[in-house]
Chains A and B, each alone.
Chain A
């Protein structure tokens, strides 16, 4: 595989690489895509306005299901953001050079997901105007405070890991043709970068430190998020396995997201020379490994309690396996894990299009999986649900909840889309340098 990519590089000049990878204007399809996303965001904003005006009563959450799709959407965002640390840091530290063109895609997914994770958690608050109480009255023994701390840290490190590798590209961007306003932005963000040996040294060192630092922080954000559930007594949440279970699922959904983004960017910007079949092939192997790992944790998570069938667990597990939530539960397992594993085990399955389809299955399965983790547990409390209206016994999100959840997903996509318009989605300077190195080796 490596020999193919090296053979390709010989024929491509630096100017050609720069021309191919510079951000370009949106075409017709691009504008339609953006309009749809903006529309969805506006509908979400209107739904949130209604929620602010009337209270959380516009949702269908009630005293038993007190956490709904806002929280499962939050967990989804935190999960998908973990891929930044995997591809940028883990692959870099293990010298997996092939992943260089994917780093920026992974990092912008991480940054936009973490931003919308924070927003969606504010949406879930009954008193968003008291958000600052988290800092003025914060109590360190609450896992929510741990989450605030680690998510804040993760956001800063991810932003730096997005920004520092961009510095060499700013020089190219400033010298390229483009709208004056973008030039101004590039100059503001990166005109101090001269590309001297000293600067490169500092930048390399900083990136290495950040890559090491981000790994424990990434593990923390999702472990702590899993503890929001695992620190309670409830059936389905009361598990010592939750941290590892959540992290493996997070790496899976993030990698699925990267595969989708790779396919779309490759098609839309004609990046076949840079996001090659080799990249899909290798990502396919990563994804199949992660799917198997997540499947393993799922079997662990459901098989062991099902074997014992403790009384409080029983109603919950039956609702998942054969009851009210069976369709979503099995969708998440079969479509979100088993079918992608089958597709990706075959070499033909690791080509771009089947990978793209498997990626969509993984991400959709993962979203519903988070729903399955949050809601069914709340509908199976220890004491019976007595003396409450019938509507408290069930949960199906209201249109406002759907609109806000979909709006937040659209918002994250919009951030990624605009990022790709403004900045090169594949690092230009790094691509040039690596190809030179490869040529010299040749």
Chain B
């Protein structure tokens, strides 16, 4: 009992110290991102151009082939805007989380980080913390701007449920990204596998076209795709105005998937780190 009483404050102190370090990572990565102002601007410009492209593509598409949300039909632009936002979110998160520590390895800073009294989990989280906050924010801002620019009819009372779906989905993507980071740490050039996985998940996610267009057997498989579940979970409240009712079942599926994905990702990553330490190849790239 006494041991427990002593252990608790130590644990709290440790947690507080480690959380404080996340702030340091956040500041560092903001300063680094800010030093690449042109890349920052071009990333947003690229996203806007993609939206414009789909706006014109949307003019050719018959809205009757699109699914109805909350009983009301959606335009293609409304349909695809959420798809673009979510696939861009997944792609960016997978890539940046995966390459976060790989970047440290290539820059030569990984060993300096590992020499500090910081837990490997904090280092892993720290290297992607800026992106974990920035990418969902970017997704939300993108949806708002596209909504305003193209006069899309989003239900404002659907924003909070949609954001909750997005946040429930973050650990899933993060887990994949962390696992990808582990593979990159081990195989150095494992980026291709992550890109292939993303392409497959995005293709069968219903981001750009309704899943109804797929052959029956593929449709069943695509409906189990977590990206598809998250996208539909966001479309329901935003396009159909279904509020919390529309997202309940999606959250029930997404949350356990997210927990499993994150836990598995962290395990893979820690195993990769241990392996590199044993092999003495942490600094090699």
A interacts with B: no
Binding site for A on B (CB under 8 A): none
Binding site for B on A (CB under 8 A): none
